[in-house]
Amino acid sequence: MYQQSKHNIFSKIKDSNEYYLVNILSGNADILEPDEALKFKENRIDNPDIYIEKGYLVNPDDEERIFREKYLNFIDERDSDEIQLFFTPWYTCNFNCSYCFQDEYTNPEQTVTDEVIDAFFQYIDNQFAGRKKYITIFGGEPFLNTPKHKQTITKVIEGANIRKLDIAVVTNGYHITDYISILQQASVREIQVTLDGTQTVHDSRRILKGGQGSFQKISDGINALLKNNIPVNLRMVVDKDNIHDLPNLAKYAINQGWTKNTLFKTALGRNYELHHCQTNNKRLFSRIGLYQEVYNLVKKHPEILEFHKPAFSIAKFIFENGELPNPLFDSCSGTKTEWAFDYAGKIYSCTATVGNTGDELGTFYPQTKLNSKLIEEWEERDVLAIKKCRNCSVQLACGGGCAAIAKARTGNIHSEDCRPVKELLELGIGLYK
Protein backbone atom coordinates (compact mmCIF):
# COMPACT_ATOMS: atom_id res chain seq x y z
CA MET A 1 0.00 0.00 0.00
CA TYR A 2 2.77 2.44 0.93
CA GLN A 3 5.59 2.90 -1.53
CA GLN A 4 8.49 5.25 -2.00
CA SER A 5 7.37 8.70 -3.12
CA LYS A 6 8.19 9.47 -6.73
CA HIS A 7 9.40 12.87 -5.50
CA ASN A 8 12.14 11.46 -3.26
CA ILE A 9 15.59 12.72 -4.18
CA PHE A 10 18.16 10.48 -2.56
CA SER A 11 21.91 10.27 -2.94
CA LYS A 12 25.26 10.18 -1.18
CA ILE A 13 26.66 13.45 0.09
CA LYS A 14 29.92 14.50 -1.52
CA ASP A 15 33.04 13.73 0.58
CA SER A 16 30.93 12.09 3.31
CA ASN A 17 29.63 8.66 4.27
CA GLU A 18 26.19 10.06 4.82
CA TYR A 19 23.27 10.31 2.43
CA TYR A 20 20.56 12.88 1.94
CA LEU A 21 16.86 12.34 1.38
CA VAL A 22 14.81 15.29 0.16
CA ASN A 23 11.14 15.47 -0.78
CA ILE A 24 9.99 18.88 -1.97
CA LEU A 25 6.32 17.91 -2.24
CA SER A 26 6.11 16.96 1.44
CA GLY A 27 8.61 19.66 2.45
CA ASN A 28 11.06 17.36 4.25
CA ALA A 29 14.80 16.76 4.14
CA ASP A 30 16.96 14.38 6.19
CA ILE A 31 20.52 13.20 6.48
CA LEU A 32 20.76 9.40 6.68
CA GLU A 33 23.55 7.34 8.22
CA PRO A 34 25.00 4.74 5.79
CA ASP A 35 23.15 1.74 7.30
CA GLU A 36 19.86 3.63 7.43
CA ALA A 37 20.36 4.75 3.83
CA LEU A 38 21.01 1.19 2.69
CA LYS A 39 17.84 -0.04 4.37
CA PHE A 40 15.86 2.80 2.77
CA LYS A 41 17.30 2.01 -0.64
CA GLU A 42 16.45 -1.68 -0.28
CA ASN A 43 13.01 -1.03 1.19
CA ARG A 44 13.88 -2.67 4.53
CA ILE A 45 12.85 0.26 6.73
CA ASP A 46 12.68 -0.43 10.49
CA ASN A 47 10.43 2.47 11.43
CA PRO A 48 8.12 3.15 8.44
CA ASP A 49 5.82 5.46 10.45
CA ILE A 50 8.40 8.25 10.48
CA TYR A 51 8.98 7.85 6.74
CA ILE A 52 5.21 7.89 6.14
CA GLU A 53 4.79 10.98 8.29
CA LYS A 54 7.49 12.77 6.31
CA GLY A 55 6.03 11.80 2.94
CA TYR A 56 8.98 9.61 1.89
CA LEU A 57 6.65 6.60 1.88
CA VAL A 58 3.25 7.35 0.40
CA ASN A 59 -0.01 6.09 -0.84
CA PRO A 60 0.30 7.16 -4.52
CA ASP A 61 -3.34 8.32 -4.79
CA ASP A 62 -2.95 10.55 -1.72
CA GLU A 63 0.28 11.91 -3.09
CA GLU A 64 -1.32 12.69 -6.44
CA ARG A 65 -4.07 14.65 -4.64
CA ILE A 66 -1.50 16.69 -2.69
CA PHE A 67 0.44 17.29 -5.92
CA ARG A 68 -2.69 18.68 -7.65
CA GLU A 69 -3.52 20.92 -4.69
CA LYS A 70 -0.01 22.36 -4.56
CA TYR A 71 0.04 22.80 -8.32
CA LEU A 72 -3.16 24.86 -8.22
CA ASN A 73 -1.76 26.96 -5.36
CA PHE A 74 1.40 27.58 -7.38
CA ILE A 75 -0.60 28.80 -10.39
CA ASP A 76 -2.83 31.00 -8.18
CA GLU A 77 0.09 32.55 -6.33
CA ARG A 78 1.98 33.25 -9.53
CA ASP A 79 -0.98 35.19 -10.87
CA SER A 80 -0.43 37.76 -8.15
CA ASP A 81 3.40 37.78 -8.29
CA GLU A 82 5.27 40.88 -9.31
CA ILE A 83 6.07 41.18 -13.04
CA GLN A 84 9.48 42.19 -14.36
CA LEU A 85 9.23 44.21 -17.58
CA PHE A 86 12.44 44.50 -19.57
CA PHE A 87 12.79 47.50 -21.84
CA THR A 88 15.50 47.58 -24.51
CA PRO A 89 15.92 51.12 -25.85
CA TRP A 90 18.63 50.00 -28.33
CA TYR A 91 20.82 47.01 -29.05
CA THR A 92 23.91 49.17 -29.54
CA CYS A 93 26.83 48.37 -27.24
CA ASN A 94 30.20 49.97 -26.59
CA PHE A 95 31.77 46.60 -25.69
CA ASN A 96 32.99 43.72 -27.77
CA CYS A 97 32.82 40.85 -25.25
CA SER A 98 34.29 37.58 -26.34
CA TYR A 99 31.09 35.65 -25.61
CA CYS A 100 28.22 38.03 -26.44
CA PHE A 101 24.99 36.14 -27.23
CA GLN A 102 23.59 39.15 -29.10
CA ASP A 103 26.58 39.62 -31.42
CA GLU A 104 24.87 38.00 -34.41
CA TYR A 105 21.57 39.84 -33.96
CA THR A 106 20.65 41.82 -37.03
CA ASN A 107 18.84 44.73 -35.35
CA PRO A 108 19.83 48.04 -36.91
CA GLU A 109 21.81 50.44 -34.75
CA GLN A 110 18.79 52.52 -33.85
CA THR A 111 17.61 54.28 -30.74
CA VAL A 112 14.11 54.28 -29.35
CA THR A 113 11.89 57.29 -30.12
CA ASP A 114 9.79 59.19 -27.57
CA GLU A 115 6.69 57.87 -29.32
CA VAL A 116 7.73 54.26 -28.74
CA ILE A 117 8.51 54.96 -25.06
CA ASP A 118 5.02 56.47 -24.66
CA ALA A 119 3.49 53.44 -26.41
CA PHE A 120 5.41 51.11 -24.08
CA PHE A 121 4.00 52.81 -20.99
CA GLN A 122 0.51 52.86 -22.46
CA TYR A 123 0.77 49.15 -23.18
CA ILE A 124 1.89 48.23 -19.69
CA ASP A 125 -0.73 50.53 -18.14
CA ASN A 126 -3.44 48.64 -20.03
CA GLN A 127 -2.07 45.13 -20.06
CA PHE A 128 -0.74 44.92 -16.52
CA ALA A 129 -3.16 47.26 -14.73
CA GLY A 130 -3.42 46.38 -11.06
CA ARG A 131 -0.39 44.05 -11.15
CA LYS A 132 2.73 44.68 -9.08
CA LYS A 133 5.54 45.37 -11.55
CA TYR A 134 8.92 46.99 -12.12
CA ILE A 135 10.97 47.90 -15.16
CA THR A 136 14.44 46.63 -15.98
CA ILE A 137 16.32 48.65 -18.57
CA PHE A 138 18.33 46.32 -20.77
CA GLY A 139 20.27 46.47 -24.04
CA GLY A 140 22.67 46.29 -25.85
CA GLU A 141 24.21 48.62 -23.31
CA PRO A 142 21.72 51.04 -21.75
CA PHE A 143 24.31 53.41 -20.24
CA LEU A 144 25.89 54.98 -23.34
CA ASN A 145 27.54 58.33 -22.75
CA THR A 146 25.88 60.74 -25.18
CA PRO A 147 23.28 63.44 -24.40
CA LYS A 148 20.70 61.65 -26.59
CA HIS A 149 21.13 58.32 -24.81
CA LYS A 150 20.99 60.03 -21.42
CA GLN A 151 17.80 61.89 -22.38
CA THR A 152 16.19 58.63 -23.40
CA ILE A 153 17.05 56.82 -20.15
CA THR A 154 15.80 59.88 -18.25
CA LYS A 155 12.48 59.69 -20.11
CA VAL A 156 12.06 56.00 -19.21
CA ILE A 157 12.82 56.83 -15.57
CA GLU A 158 10.26 59.68 -15.64
CA GLY A 159 7.65 57.29 -17.00
CA ALA A 160 8.44 54.83 -14.20
CA ASN A 161 8.33 57.59 -11.57
CA ILE A 162 4.89 58.82 -12.68
CA ARG A 163 3.61 55.28 -12.10
CA LYS A 164 5.62 54.80 -8.90
CA LEU A 165 7.48 51.87 -10.44
CA ASP A 166 10.97 50.81 -9.40
CA ILE A 167 13.60 50.41 -12.06
CA ALA A 168 16.58 48.11 -12.40
CA VAL A 169 19.33 48.27 -15.02
CA VAL A 170 21.51 45.59 -16.60
CA THR A 171 24.71 47.34 -17.65
CA ASN A 172 28.30 46.51 -18.52
CA GLY A 173 29.13 49.20 -15.96
CA TYR A 174 31.52 51.31 -18.02
CA HIS A 175 29.58 54.58 -17.77
CA ILE A 176 27.98 54.16 -14.35
CA THR A 177 29.63 57.26 -12.90
CA ASP A 178 28.22 59.31 -15.81
CA TYR A 179 24.72 58.13 -14.91
CA ILE A 180 24.74 58.58 -11.12
CA SER A 181 22.85 61.90 -11.19
CA ILE A 182 20.20 60.37 -13.49
CA LEU A 183 19.86 57.33 -11.22
CA GLN A 184 19.39 59.61 -8.24
CA GLN A 185 16.05 60.62 -9.81
CA ALA A 186 14.79 57.02 -9.80
CA SER A 187 13.66 54.42 -7.31
CA VAL A 188 16.35 51.88 -8.13
CA ARG A 189 15.82 48.21 -7.28
CA GLU A 190 19.33 47.23 -8.40
CA ILE A 191 22.01 47.83 -10.98
CA GLN A 192 23.39 44.60 -12.38
CA VAL A 193 27.02 44.93 -13.41
CA THR A 194 29.39 42.31 -14.77
CA LEU A 195 32.98 41.74 -13.63
CA ASP A 196 34.56 38.56 -14.97
CA GLY A 197 37.52 38.57 -12.61
CA THR A 198 40.25 40.89 -11.42
CA GLN A 199 41.84 43.38 -13.79
CA THR A 200 43.94 41.20 -16.12
CA VAL A 201 41.36 38.44 -16.47
CA HIS A 202 38.38 40.77 -16.81
CA ASP A 203 40.18 42.97 -19.33
CA SER A 204 40.97 39.98 -21.53
CA ARG A 205 37.24 39.25 -21.96
CA ARG A 206 35.18 42.40 -21.52
CA ILE A 207 36.76 45.03 -23.71
CA LEU A 208 35.63 48.23 -25.33
CA LYS A 209 35.04 48.16 -29.10
CA GLY A 210 38.42 49.93 -29.43
CA GLY A 211 40.14 47.12 -27.52
CA GLN A 212 40.78 48.89 -24.19
CA GLY A 213 40.08 47.21 -20.85
CA SER A 214 37.15 48.19 -18.67
CA PHE A 215 37.90 46.85 -15.17
CA GLN A 216 38.92 50.02 -13.37
CA LYS A 217 36.02 52.14 -14.62
CA ILE A 218 33.52 49.43 -13.62
CA SER A 219 35.08 49.05 -10.18
CA ASP A 220 34.88 52.85 -9.71
CA GLY A 221 31.26 52.70 -10.86
CA ILE A 222 30.38 50.06 -8.25
CA ASN A 223 31.95 52.23 -5.54
CA ALA A 224 29.98 55.23 -6.78
CA LEU A 225 26.70 53.28 -6.70
CA LEU A 226 27.26 52.01 -3.18
CA LYS A 227 28.33 55.46 -1.99
CA ASN A 228 24.99 56.75 -3.29
CA ASN A 229 23.08 53.91 -1.61
CA ILE A 230 22.13 52.31 -4.91
CA PRO A 231 21.95 48.48 -4.73
CA VAL A 232 24.44 46.52 -6.85
CA ASN A 233 24.15 43.00 -8.18
CA LEU A 234 27.63 41.98 -9.34
CA ARG A 235 27.58 39.16 -11.85
CA MET A 236 30.61 37.13 -12.83
CA VAL A 237 30.16 35.23 -16.09
CA VAL A 238 32.31 32.14 -15.80
CA ASP A 239 33.85 29.50 -18.00
CA LYS A 240 37.07 27.47 -17.92
CA ASP A 241 39.12 30.54 -18.95
CA ASN A 242 38.33 32.63 -15.87
CA ILE A 243 36.94 30.40 -13.09
CA HIS A 244 40.42 30.23 -11.50
CA ASP A 245 40.13 33.97 -10.79
CA LEU A 246 37.01 33.61 -8.61
CA PRO A 247 39.05 33.57 -5.36
CA ASN A 248 40.91 36.72 -6.48
CA LEU A 249 37.72 38.56 -7.37
CA ALA A 250 36.27 37.51 -4.00
CA LYS A 251 39.33 38.95 -2.23
CA TYR A 252 39.11 42.14 -4.29
CA ALA A 253 35.44 42.62 -3.37
CA ILE A 254 36.18 41.95 0.30
CA ASN A 255 39.07 44.47 0.26
CA GLN A 256 36.91 47.10 -1.41
CA GLY A 257 34.42 46.69 1.46
CA TRP A 258 31.66 45.65 -0.96
CA THR A 259 30.78 42.36 0.72
CA LYS A 260 30.04 44.08 4.04
CA ASN A 261 27.53 46.40 2.36
CA THR A 262 23.94 45.11 2.58
CA LEU A 263 23.24 46.77 -0.79
CA PHE A 264 25.75 44.48 -2.49
CA LYS A 265 24.93 41.03 -3.82
CA THR A 266 26.46 38.69 -6.37
CA ALA A 267 25.56 36.10 -8.98
CA LEU A 268 27.59 33.56 -10.92
CA GLY A 269 26.46 33.24 -14.51
CA ARG A 270 27.50 30.26 -16.57
CA ASN A 271 28.79 31.20 -20.01
CA TYR A 272 26.69 29.08 -22.38
CA GLU A 273 25.55 28.90 -25.96
CA LEU A 274 22.10 30.23 -26.67
CA HIS A 275 21.20 31.16 -30.24
CA HIS A 276 24.47 30.38 -31.97
CA CYS A 277 27.69 28.45 -31.34
CA GLN A 278 30.60 30.26 -29.74
CA THR A 279 33.91 30.10 -31.59
CA ASN A 280 35.74 28.88 -28.50
CA ASN A 281 33.12 26.56 -27.05
CA LYS A 282 35.62 24.15 -25.49
CA ARG A 283 35.92 26.61 -22.62
CA LEU A 284 32.24 26.26 -21.69
CA PHE A 285 31.26 24.35 -18.56
CA SER A 286 28.34 22.00 -18.31
CA ARG A 287 26.09 22.97 -15.40
CA ILE A 288 27.46 20.29 -13.13
CA GLY A 289 31.03 20.84 -14.37
CA LEU A 290 30.83 24.45 -13.23
CA TYR A 291 29.51 23.62 -9.79
CA GLN A 292 32.05 20.83 -9.26
CA GLU A 293 34.75 23.40 -9.91
CA VAL A 294 33.12 25.96 -7.63
CA TYR A 295 32.85 23.32 -4.88
CA ASN A 296 36.58 22.54 -5.20
CA LEU A 297 37.48 26.23 -5.16
CA VAL A 298 35.35 26.95 -2.09
CA LYS A 299 36.97 24.03 -0.23
CA LYS A 300 40.37 25.59 -0.96
CA HIS A 301 39.37 29.24 -0.59
CA PRO A 302 36.44 29.44 1.86
CA GLU A 303 36.51 33.25 1.66
CA ILE A 304 34.67 32.86 -1.66
CA LEU A 305 31.53 32.27 0.42
CA GLU A 306 31.85 35.78 1.82
CA PHE A 307 31.59 37.02 -1.77
CA HIS A 308 29.16 34.51 -3.21
CA LYS A 309 27.15 31.61 -1.80
CA PRO A 310 26.26 29.31 -4.71
CA ALA A 311 22.72 27.94 -4.64
CA PHE A 312 23.55 24.29 -5.54
CA SER A 313 19.91 23.81 -6.54
CA ILE A 314 17.92 24.12 -3.28
CA ALA A 315 20.84 23.30 -0.93
CA LYS A 316 21.63 26.88 0.07
CA PHE A 317 17.94 27.62 0.60
CA ILE A 318 17.53 24.66 2.97
CA PHE A 319 20.52 25.65 5.10
CA GLU A 320 19.69 29.36 5.17
CA ASN A 321 15.98 28.97 5.87
CA GLY A 322 15.83 25.71 7.82
CA GLU A 323 13.01 24.55 5.54
CA LEU A 324 12.40 23.55 1.95
CA PRO A 325 11.30 25.95 -0.76
CA ASN A 326 7.82 25.59 -2.24
CA PRO A 327 7.57 23.10 -5.11
CA LEU A 328 8.71 24.65 -8.38
CA PHE A 329 6.25 23.48 -11.02
CA ASP A 330 7.75 25.90 -13.51
CA SER A 331 11.14 27.60 -13.41
CA CYS A 332 10.66 29.77 -16.50
CA SER A 333 9.14 33.18 -15.88
CA GLY A 334 8.84 34.17 -19.57
CA THR A 335 5.30 35.48 -20.38
CA LYS A 336 4.18 34.64 -16.83
CA THR A 337 6.03 37.11 -14.64
CA GLU A 338 8.49 38.43 -17.22
CA TRP A 339 8.13 40.20 -20.57
CA ALA A 340 10.58 42.09 -22.78
CA PHE A 341 9.96 45.05 -25.10
CA ASP A 342 12.29 46.70 -27.58
CA TYR A 343 12.86 50.02 -29.35
CA ALA A 344 11.19 48.69 -32.50
CA GLY A 345 7.89 48.12 -30.70
CA LYS A 346 8.28 44.34 -30.51
CA ILE A 347 7.30 42.11 -27.60
CA TYR A 348 9.25 39.06 -26.44
CA SER A 349 9.12 36.62 -23.52
CA CYS A 350 12.32 37.62 -21.73
CA THR A 351 15.97 38.66 -21.97
CA ALA A 352 17.02 35.45 -23.67
CA THR A 353 14.73 36.05 -26.63
CA VAL A 354 14.50 39.85 -26.88
CA GLY A 355 15.83 40.96 -30.27
CA ASN A 356 16.17 37.44 -31.65
CA THR A 357 14.44 37.19 -35.02
CA GLY A 358 11.67 34.61 -34.88
CA ASP A 359 11.08 34.93 -31.14
CA GLU A 360 8.68 37.93 -31.39
CA LEU A 361 5.39 37.39 -29.58
CA GLY A 362 3.73 40.55 -30.87
CA THR A 363 4.03 44.32 -31.06
CA PHE A 364 3.05 47.25 -28.85
CA TYR A 365 3.92 49.84 -31.53
CA PRO A 366 2.79 51.09 -34.03
CA GLN A 367 -0.17 49.00 -32.94
CA THR A 368 -0.83 46.32 -30.38
CA LYS A 369 -0.88 42.89 -31.98
CA LEU A 370 -0.30 39.69 -30.05
CA ASN A 371 0.45 36.22 -31.35
CA SER A 372 -1.91 34.50 -28.93
CA LYS A 373 -1.10 30.98 -30.12
CA LEU A 374 2.61 31.40 -29.41
CA ILE A 375 1.98 33.20 -26.12
CA GLU A 376 -0.31 30.40 -25.00
CA GLU A 377 2.42 27.89 -25.75
CA TRP A 378 4.80 29.86 -23.51
CA GLU A 379 2.19 30.27 -20.79
CA GLU A 380 1.36 26.58 -20.70
CA ARG A 381 4.95 25.41 -20.33
CA ASP A 382 5.57 23.72 -16.97
CA VAL A 383 6.59 20.31 -15.64
CA LEU A 384 3.18 18.89 -16.54
CA ALA A 385 3.22 20.20 -20.11
CA ILE A 386 6.72 18.86 -20.88
CA LYS A 387 6.45 15.13 -21.50
CA LYS A 388 9.89 14.22 -20.20
CA CYS A 389 9.36 16.18 -16.98
CA ARG A 390 6.10 14.53 -15.98
CA ASN A 391 7.70 11.53 -14.31
CA CYS A 392 10.98 13.09 -13.33
CA SER A 393 11.82 12.73 -9.62
CA VAL A 394 13.57 16.11 -9.45
CA GLN A 395 10.83 18.03 -11.30
CA LEU A 396 9.85 20.13 -8.28
CA ALA A 397 13.41 21.42 -7.79
CA CYS A 398 14.15 21.83 -11.50
CA GLY A 399 10.90 23.22 -12.86
CA GLY A 400 11.70 22.19 -16.44
CA GLY A 401 14.57 24.66 -16.90
CA CYS A 402 14.80 27.47 -19.44
CA ALA A 403 12.32 27.52 -22.34
CA ALA A 404 14.68 29.52 -24.58
CA ILE A 405 17.52 27.02 -24.12
CA ALA A 406 15.14 24.09 -24.63
CA LYS A 407 13.75 25.68 -27.80
CA ALA A 408 17.20 26.52 -29.16
CA ARG A 409 18.16 22.86 -28.68
CA THR A 410 15.03 21.05 -29.87
CA GLY A 411 12.97 23.67 -31.73
CA ASN A 412 10.13 23.02 -29.27
CA ILE A 413 9.27 25.25 -26.30
CA HIS A 414 7.61 22.31 -24.57
CA SER A 415 10.84 20.40 -24.19
CA GLU A 416 13.12 19.98 -21.21
CA ASP A 417 16.23 21.86 -20.13
CA CYS A 418 17.44 19.48 -17.41
CA ARG A 419 19.14 20.63 -14.20
CA PRO A 420 21.48 18.13 -12.51
CA VAL A 421 19.56 18.52 -9.25
CA LYS A 422 20.71 15.29 -7.58
CA GLU A 423 24.38 15.98 -8.26
CA LEU A 424 24.06 19.63 -7.22
CA LEU A 425 22.51 18.57 -3.92
CA GLU A 426 25.35 16.08 -3.34
CA LEU A 427 27.79 18.99 -3.61
CA GLY A 428 25.71 21.68 -1.92
CA ILE A 429 24.62 19.64 1.08
CA GLY A 430 28.24 18.48 1.42
CA LEU A 431 29.42 22.08 1.43
CA TYR A 432 26.82 23.74 3.63
CA LYS A 433 26.33 20.85 6.10
Binding site for ligand SF4 (CB under 6 A): 332-334, 338, 349-352, 383, 386, 388-389, 392, 394-395, 398, 400-404, 416-419
Check: CB of residue 105 under 8 Å from CB of residue 154. Answer: no
Minimum separation from the CB atom of position 238 to ligand SF4 (A): 17
Q: Which is nearer to ligand SF4, 117 or 424 (CB)?
A: 424
| CA 315 – CA 31 distance, rounded (Å) | 13
Beta strands in 172-275 (DSSP E): 188-194, 232-238, 264-270
Residue 404: HSE in the Cβ half-sphere, 13 Å Cα cutoff: 23
Q: Which is nearer to ligand SF4, 176 or 332 (CB)?
A: 332
**Local structure of 97: helix, strand or coil:** coil
Q: Calculate the alpha carbon distances from 338 to 55, 133, 189, 343, 360 in Å.
A: 33, 9, 16, 17, 14
Minimum separation from the CB atom of position 389 to ligand SF4 (A): 3
Q: Which is nearer to ligand SF4, 9 or 117 (CB)?
A: 9
Q: Which is nearer to ligand SF4, 66 or 418 (CB)?
A: 418
Minimum separation from the CB atom of position 351 to ligand SF4 (A): 6
Q: Which is nearer to ligand SF4, 386 or 425 (CB)?
A: 386
Q: Which is nearer to ligand SF4, 243 or 389 (CB)?
A: 389
Beta-strand pair 232-238/188-194: parallel
Using alpha carbons, select from 231, 202, 242, 244 the residue that is nearest to residue 219: 202
| CA 55 – CA 27 distance, rounded (Å) | 8
Minimum separation from the CB atom of position 362 to ligand SF4 (A): 16
Minimum separation from the CB atom of position 371 to ligand SF4 (A): 16
Minimum separation from the CB atom of position 400 to ligand SF4 (A): 5
Query: Is the previous residue joined to 27 through a cis bond, with omega within 30 degrees of 0?
Result: no
Minimum separation from the CB atom of position 401 to ligand SF4 (A): 5
Q: Which is nearer to ligand SF4, 175 or 414 (CB)?
A: 414
- CB neighbourhood size of 278 (10 A): 18
